[in-house]
Amino acid sequence: MKFLLSRTTEAKARVLALRKTGGMLAVLRSERGALDLASIMVGVLVIGIVGGVIAATVFAVIPWSQDRAAQGALDAVKTAESVQYGQSAGGGTGVFAVSADLVGTGNATGKSLLQASNKISVKISSDGQRFIAASASDTGTVYFISDDGQAPSTTAPTTTPAIVAPVWNNTTKTFS
């Protein structure tokens, strides 16, 4: 306890001495308050490193998450098509549906199975037994899936019978 009192007394004495000698300005003008170039450079370097790490993280994570969102949209399409196929079977063979029917009420359930988006397109074969779906990421990458159960890919799958895969127009931000 005695130590703390003596330290407090010393600190008060220093403050009083500063006031008598011209205050903090005098300390900053002295050698004790001076900043050298090396200290400034180290501070700038540390700030630069921290800023670089933050920038790299932001620029890497955002495109990755946008691509994952597009692939996740294809998972939603796959689920909606499975529901459509099963509900339309009615004891026989089911059929897949195009985007407009999955979004609207023109599918087998009479309810919307998929959220409306101009970044998703589904095309089906003439007999309704095959589908190709495409989803565009905000990065501009287009991912495709088909009814064969493969993982999303950046190349359009081939199907038999042939289905013309949706084509993304990066200018209008729509599929054709």
Q: Is the peptide bond before 161 cis (omega within 30 degrees of 0)?
A: yes
Which amino acid, residue 68? R
Alpha-carbon span 106 to 123, nearest angstrom: 15
Alpha-carbon span 86 to 158, nearest angstrom: 23
**For residues 147 and 130, is the Cβ–Cβ distance under 8 A?**
yes
Q: Which two tokens stand for residue 107?
A: 């599918």
Q: Which two tokens stand for residue 172?
A: 């209008």
**For residues 68 and 58, is the Cβ–Cβ distance under 8 A?**
no
pLDDT in 10s for each residue of the chain, 176 residues: 455 455 667 767 776 666 666 666 666 566 655 667 788 899 999 999 999 999 988 888 899 999 999 999 999 999 999 999 998 887 788 899 999 999 988 888 888 899 989 999 999 999 999 999 999 999 999 999 999 888 999 998 888 788 888 999 988 888 98
Alpha-carbon span 74 to 140, nearest angstrom: 15
Kindly list the domain boundaries of the chain, sorted by start residue. 2-50, 58-175
Q: Which two tokens stand for residue 163?
A: 């289905």
E strand spans, 17-149: 120-124, 131-136, 142-146
